[in-house]
Chains A and B, each alone.
Chain A
Amino acid sequence: MASQCLLKLEFIDYIKYAIPVYAVELLAAIAGIFYLLKVPAYNLVTKYFIWFLWFTVMIELIGSYASIAYFTDYDYLSFVKDTRFEENTWLYNCYSLVSASFYTYYFGTYIKSENWKLILKFLLMVFIISSVLNLIFSDVFFEEDSKYVNLGGTFLIFFAVTLFYFELLKNDLLLNLRRLLPLYVSIGVMIFYLCVTPLSIFSDYFNSDNILFVKLQVHLILFSNIFMYSFFILGFYICSRKKRSF
């Protein structure tokens, strides 16, 4: 989720701010694989979550085409120049939609109350359909990050995490929170989405006139990515130290 905002920066900044993000994403995905190998009794949703992490790595790899083209002055991949695919916002718009939907689904599976599950499902459907319509009928798809998708997704994830926490509180089971993988995921995801989304509102100001804001955004995206994926890695590590896990 890093490279789309760095196109107007120098190459050195790209190395400084984007490469660490790729690295933690890859590390988290690898940690996920280790988790699967070490914990034979993982549940299906956890497996989907790890697939999703690999999907993220893949998207970053594909998305880096725009950066490569830009920093090589279109020597490589010159065919994208002056087309709508010159920037990779279209890819990240799709990815935002998929990731918000996935996280909502992920926390939704832990909710046992049928009514809330139904409401969450309904909201997710509304979000997906309206986002697709938004991406098709407004001209943001190739231009910039869709504010609608970002804001809607954040609220949806926040709602799902809240329901997940309420579910844990209601539950009369003796929970070992230290060993609860979704808890680590929820902390990482919640802080990432809630902290990064406000920037999306100001994305129109992401240009050379607002050096201060640009600096803020790249740093914030860097640190919140590192924060989120470190929490995932931590969660995988701690939860894989025992036999049965959630």
Chain B
Amino acid sequence: MLKKEEVLLIIYFIAIIFFLVVFVVIFFIAFQRRKNRFLIERLEAQQKFKEELANSQLEIQEQTFKNIAWELHDNVGQLLSVANLQLNMLMNAPSEKTRDQIKETKEVIVATVEEVRSLSKTLNTEVVLNNGLIKSIKVELERFNRLNFLQTELKIEGHELTLKSEDEIFIFRIVQEFFSNVIKHARANKLFVHLYYKKDNLEITISDDGVGFDTEQKKFSSGLQNMKSRAELIGAQFELNSKIGEGTTLLIIYSYPFDE
């Protein structure tokens, strides 16, 4: 027969086992939580590093654009002007035929100077800032029209607002990247740009009637990634829709920051 003390001893041991197991489980869960937090912190640090990297890359790109713009404006532009002057002096040449040719050449040079100027305007951040988003887009579109690349159409709805200057640059660069893709790949005839200044966001829709592409396949191309990361940096919604043979549509929805 079991004595009372023996039964108590059994109870005691079972209680000890119970509390030990509870302790182990709680300890395990606490440890696991701590580990999770550590992992999250590490992940966040990585994310931050990536963001910084993207940011500095874009900064470098802007700087490069600026330098190229200066070079175009100050160097190439000047050289072309000099060439123009030289041609002016040649205008007194004897033969009629040469004079006509010189005149034509002069016209080409004047056009080139014009092109270089407008190109340098769209590349230079400060000029873009001075002109504002709408005017910069207009300059770009006019260039396409002039060069007979595309027939463009710009539609502006709502009351124009001045955005935060960095954000304006970012939006313009996204638009520019899209334009350059249209010219390089889309083989489009028409380009439609719609800016809609709504009450609390700016909606930009750009569409072409080109050949389109498979969004799944080109997911990781650097141009798209650039556009996406730029949109992410200013917290804008970015959507690119395309189907082969049906053209491409880009939608950017940029919410105005609260403090403005």
The chain A residues found within 8 Å of chain B, CB to CB, are 165, 168-169, 172, 174-175, 177, 187, 190-191, 194-195, 198-199, 202, 205, 209-210, 212-213, 216, 220
Asked if B29 contacts A169 (CB within 8 A), the reply is: no
A-facing mask of B12-52, CB < 8 A → 1, else 0?
01100110011001001101110110011000000000000
B108 within 8 A of A: no
Residues of chain A with a CB closer than 8 A to B89's CB: none
- Interchain CA distance A210-B8 in the complex, whole Å: 13
Residues of chain B with a CB closer than 8 A to A209's CB: 1
- Interchain CA distance A195-B20 in the complex, whole Å: 11
Asked if A199 contacts B32 (CB within 8 A), the reply is: no
Which residue from chain A places its CB closest to the CB of B39 in the assembled complex?
Answer: A174
B85 within 8 A of A: no
Interface centre among B18, B21, B33 (most CB of A within 10 A): B21
Residues of chain B with a CB closer than 8 A to A195's CB: 14, 17-18
Asked if B18 contacts A202 (CB within 8 A), the reply is: no
Asked if B21 contacts A165 (CB within 8 A), the reply is: no
Option from A174, A187, A212 in Cβ contact (under 8 Å) with B7:
A212
- Interchain CA distance A190-B28 in the complex, whole Å: 14
Asked if B18 contacts A165 (CB within 8 A), the reply is: no
What is the minimal beta-carbon distance from A8 to any residue of chain B, in angstroms?
15
Interface residues on B, range: 20 to 34
Option from A177, A190, A205 in Cβ contact (under 8 Å) with B29:
A177
B147 within 8 A of A: no
Asked if A190 contacts B21 (CB within 8 A), the reply is: yes
What is the minimal beta-carbon distance from B40 to any residue of chain A, in angstroms?
7
**Given A199-B10, A216-B11 in contact, is the A175-B2 Cβ separation under 8 Å?**
no
Asked if B21 contacts A177 (CB within 8 A), the reply is: no
What is the minimal beta-carbon distance from B44 to any residue of chain A, in angstroms?
12
B4 within 8 A of A: yes
Asked if A205 contacts B2 (CB within 8 A), the reply is: yes
**Given A177-B33, A195-B17 in contact, is the A216-B10 Cβ separation under 8 Å?**
yes
Q: Which 6 A-B pairs have the closest CB atoms?
A: A210-B2, A212-B7, A194-B17, A205-B2, A209-B1, A213-B2
Option from A177, A190, A210, A213 in Cβ contact (under 8 Å) with B32:
A177
What is the minimal beta-carbon distance from A180 to any residue of chain B, in angstroms?
9
What is the minimal beta-carbon distance from B7 to any residue of chain A, in angstroms?
5
Residues of chain A with a CB closer than 8 A to B36's CB: 174-175
What is the minimal beta-carbon distance from B5 to any residue of chain A, in angstroms?
10
- Interchain CA distance A172-B21 in the complex, whole Å: 24
Residues of chain B with a CB closer than 8 A to A177's CB: 29, 32-33
**Given A169-B35, A202-B2, A213-B2 in contact, is the A174-B40 Cβ separation under 8 Å?**
yes
Which residue from chain A places its CB closest to the CB of B4 in the assembled complex?
Answer: A212
Residues of chain B with a CB closer than 8 A to A169's CB: 28, 31-32, 35
- Interchain CA distance A2-B226 in the complex, whole Å: 67
- Interchain CA distance A165-B25 in the complex, whole Å: 9
Residues of chain A with a CB closer than 8 A to B31's CB: 169
- Interchain CA distance A202-B14 in the complex, whole Å: 13
Asked if A220 contacts B32 (CB within 8 A), the reply is: no
Which residue from chain A places its CB closest to the CB of B33 in the assembled complex?
Answer: A177
Asked if B7 contacts A216 (CB within 8 A), the reply is: yes
**Given A165-B28, A169-B31, A216-B10 in contact, is the A210-B1 Cβ separation under 8 Å?**
yes
Residues of chain A with a CB closer than 8 A to B21's CB: 187, 190-191, 194
What is the minimal beta-carbon distance from B13 to any residue of chain A, in angstroms?
6
Q: List 14 A-B contacts (CB under 8 A).
A: A165-B28, A168-B32, A175-B36, A177-B33, A187-B25, A190-B21, A191-B18, A194-B21, A195-B14, A202-B2, A202-B10, A213-B2, A216-B10, A220-B14
**Given A177-B32, A195-B14 in contact, is the A213-B39 Cβ separation under 8 Å?**
no
What is the minimal beta-carbon distance from A3 to any residue of chain B, in angstroms?
21
Residues of chain B with a CB closer than 8 A to A187's CB: 21, 25
Which residue from chain B places its CB closest to the CB of A187 in the assembled complex?
Answer: B25
Interface centre among B13, B14, B40 (most CB of A within 10 A): B14
What is the minimal beta-carbon distance from B124 to any residue of chain A, in angstroms?
45
